[in-house]
Amino acid sequence: MASREVVQYETPLTRAFRWFSVAFIIVYLMWTLLPILVMFVSSFKDLLEAFKIPAVGDWAGIGVFFEFTPTLKHYQDLFLNLNFSSYILNSLVAAGGSAVISVVLGSMAAYSLSRINFKGKNDLFFWIISTRMAPVVAVMVPLYSIFRSLELVGTLPGLILAYTTFNLPFAIWILKGFFDNVPYAIEEAQMVDGATRPQALLAILPLVAPGIGAFIVLCILFAWNDFLFAAIIGSGGAKTLPVATRELVQPQNIQWGSIMAAGVVTTVPMMLLGLVIRRYLVTGLTMGAVKE
Amino acid sequence: MTDTALSDQYVPGQSQGLFRVREIADNVEARPVPSTVTMPAKLNPAASRAYFFWLMVPAIVLLACISLYPFFWMIYMSLHDVEIGSTVWNNFENFTKLATDSRYLKGWWLLIQYSVMCLVLQIGIGVFLAVALNGARFEKILVTTLLMPMMMAPIVAGLVWHFLYNGTFGWYHWLLQSVGILGPKSILASTSTALIGIVIVDVWQWTPLITLITLAGLKRVPQDQLEANMVDGASQLRNFFAITLPNLYPVLLIAVMLRFMDNFRFIDSVLALTGGGPGNATKILPVYLFEVSFKFFKLGRGAAIALTLLIVTIVLGMILVRIFDRQQPRKA
């Protein structure tokens, strides 16, 4: 790496490019944030106000968007009439349960995969990763038929198992990369001092703990945001937030106010968690292929 | 080999601990300290092999139960007529029917169209955005802001966009109409534009991922090469195409593959936006599969479709893992 900054001379062309990129960033930010803003604001609006938009081509009328008296009635509706608190609980149990199972079992497997070599290791690895990459709907067809015969459809344990199908391979794959970065010499040093293997593992655990924590959060995020598994496997007894939100869309009557409020309830915790594990996000979302 | 011999010789009781210590210490001295762990088949006497094996077993067994077994079950299902309570062999009919099923074939075609459109837009916008953001003031805050859409549940994103697209009170519809791109009909309501409508939502949600990946790649472009090229009198534009872009190429390849497979994997937002309609204009293959399996409950037929979809995804996955492997030495 060169230590000095590259000296760049400003030509009209580069200046134009700079201004263009600033403008592009601003436009892009607006388009990224607008739907989120609309969701937030609409959740506090009365329906009549939420439906108010200016006439076509009336650019000055944009101000209409901010003309409203905030109301919490959609949120009250969600929690008092629509039973959303129990759906939140379902979401938490399903996502949390599968995340903990996946990361605990996954880190054990990842640790040993990282420490030993054996014949067929690559094949095993490919199998693990292909499980993760399979299309959700395709996985669901046999899973549904099996779960139905085991009477797991519509129960939280069933949903937890279903989420584990994509969280466990993810955890193994990504945590192996994590353990690979911990020098084996540390464990060797421990063992020279008389530690047993499990004790040596405990000694390196603090090194990987932050990463493991972050990937628990990522697993929660994947499961929390899932709709398909929850809609089919969890239908009935284990309704989660995304499914409950979707059910507010009825053919004759789409309850937009409640939908937006439910959207906020579903989204905000995940956005906050996303900020907490910001450092591991790219690694996690690219399956460890890209590190920041 | 010698390790096992050693521990075999000195059986229970007498000072075995002492010998174990020596044996490990010798090995430590003999090896240069590695920065990353590769080895150590030789370092593992039979005892610790068993230890590692048992650590691995619970995860592997669980995964086999919930993924390998269903996979074979799916093959079995795809060869049968599966009704509730009865399963009848039907002589590959599920598969032969697919060849003449126009909605199935169209599903593939739409899926390809959808994925390619998403990718081209995401890569184009994402890379440009990364280049513009790289080294900009407030880079950290801006990037964090960009993350927001990715944290949203796709189904919620789909519903919010459904609201924005609405023909009577949707803000994006109003915008498109005011600019003159669109008539009074919502973008999702007409067969010719609905696919573009769902592409836009995917682009909205996942372009930031491409930007993040590209930014990570940009940080690793060797500065000395850029400098050398500039000393030789290259313009910045030329610098970008001659040095930055080739250096980004491997990272971008990963991004493309990941997004491609995610487009195969997730249909949440499509279900929220159009559910495959109007007509069959947005019935990409996974949506069609969803409909066959869980609306009409033709699970046998669904399994056949799922199998073809799965095979294509696995082939794509193999290519991706190849790319990962080729990346390894570069990363270290």
Q: Choose the final residue of a domain: A71, A90, A119.
A: A71
Q: How far apart are CA B146 and CA B163, in angstroms?
A: 21
Q: Choose the final residue of a domain: B50, B73, B94.
A: B94
User: B222 or B119, which is more confident?
Assistant: B119
Among A124, A137, A256, which would you mutate to test the B interface (most chain B Cβ atoms within 10 Å of its Cβ)?
A137
The pLDDT tens digits of the residues spanning A76-135 come to: 888 888 888 999 999 999 999 999 999 999 999 999 888 888 888 888 888 888 888 888
| Interchain contact, B163 vs A42, CB within 8 Å | yes
Which has the minimum average pLDDT: B5-9, B139-143, B187-191, B247-251?
B5-9
Coil, strand, or helix at residue B36? coil
Q: Choose the final residue of a domain: A54, A71, A88.
A: A71
Task: For residue B20, name the pLDDT band (cuts at 50, 70, 90).
Answer: very low
Chain A residues in contact with B58 (beta carbon < 8 A) = 105, 108-109
Question: B36 and B180 in one domain?
Answer: no
Q: How far apart are CA A139 and CA B66, in angstroms?
A: 10
Q: What is the DSSP letter of B86?
A: E
User: A26 or A51, which is more confident?
Assistant: A26
Question: A126 and A176 in one domain?
Answer: yes
In order, the DSSP letters of B108-142 are HHHHHHHHHHHHHHHHHHHHHHHHHHTT-TTHHHH
CB atoms within 10 A of CB B294: 19
Bond prior to A54 in cis (omega within 30° of 0): no
User: A252 or B215, which is more confident?
Assistant: B215
ipTM here: 0.89
Q: Are A96 and A273 spatial neighbours (Cβ–Cβ below 8 Å)?
A: no
User: B330 or B185, which is more confident?
Assistant: B185
Residue A39's pLDDT is what? 92
Q: Does residue A168 carry a pLDDT above 80?
A: yes
Chain A residues in contact with B77 (beta carbon < 8 A) = 141-142, 145
**Percentage of chain B exceeding pLDDT 90:** 23
Q: Does residue B122 carry a pLDDT above 50?
A: yes
Q: Which residue type does A196 have? A: T
Residue A1 falls within a domain, yes or no?
Answer: no
Chain A residues in contact with B268 (beta carbon < 8 A) = 226-228, 242
Residue B332's pLDDT is what? 35
In our burial notation (b when 16+ CB lie closer than 10 A, e otherwise), range B131-152 reads: bbbbeeeeeeebbeebbbbbbb
**Residue B39: domain span:** 2-94
Q: Does residue A221 carry a pLDDT above 90?
A: yes
Residue from the list B39, B63, B125 with its beta carbon closest to the beta carbon of A169: B63
Task: For residue B22, name the pLDDT band (cuts at 50, 70, 90).
Answer: very low
Task: For residue B45, name the pLDDT band (cuts at 50, 70, 90).
Answer: low
| Interchain contact, A278 vs B213, CB within 8 Å | no
Q: What is the C-alpha R_g of chain A?
A: 25
Q: How far is B265 from chain A (nearest CA, A)?
A: 4
Q: Which residue of B has its CA nearest to A49?
A: B169
Residue B31: closest CA among B46, B42, B20: B42
Residue B154's pLDDT is what? 92
In degrees, rounded to 5, the angle at the alpha carbon of residue B40 between the alpha carbons of residues A284 and A177 is 5
Q: How far is B1 from chain A (nearest CA, A)?
A: 15
Question: A65 and A25 in one domain?
Answer: yes
What CATH number did the domain enclosing A182 receive? Answer: 1.10.3720.10
Q: Does residue A244 carry a pLDDT above 50?
A: yes
Q: Are B298 and B292 spatial neighbours (Cβ–Cβ below 8 Å)?
A: yes
Q: How far apart are CA A154 and CA B293, in angstroms?
A: 17
| Interchain contact, B216 vs A282, CB within 8 Å | yes
**Residue A64: domain span:** 12-71
Task: For residue B299, name the pLDDT band (cuts at 50, 70, 90).
Answer: confident
Mean pLDDT of chain A: 86
Question: A87 and A55 in one domain?
Answer: no
Maximal C-alpha separation, chain B:
91
Chain A residues in contact with B220 (beta carbon < 8 A) = none
Q: Are A203 and A167 spatial neighbours (Cβ–Cβ below 8 Å)?
A: no
Q: Choose the final residue of a domain: B69, B94, B119.
A: B94
Chain A residues in contact with B150 (beta carbon < 8 A) = 274, 285
Question: A172 and A52 in one domain?
Answer: no
Please give the average per-residue pLDDT across A55-59, as a whole number: 76
* Residue for token pair 């000393």: B231
User: B191 or B199, which is more confident?
Assistant: B199
With an 8 Å Cβ cutoff, is A279 touching chain B? no
User: Which helix (H) or strand (E) is B300 found in, with range?
Assistant: helix B299-331
Query: What does each C-alpha distance from B188 to A268, B165, B179 come to in angstroms?
Result: 27, 7, 18
* Number of domains into which chain B is organized: 2
Question: B74 and B119 in one domain?
Answer: no
pTM for the structure as a whole: 0.84
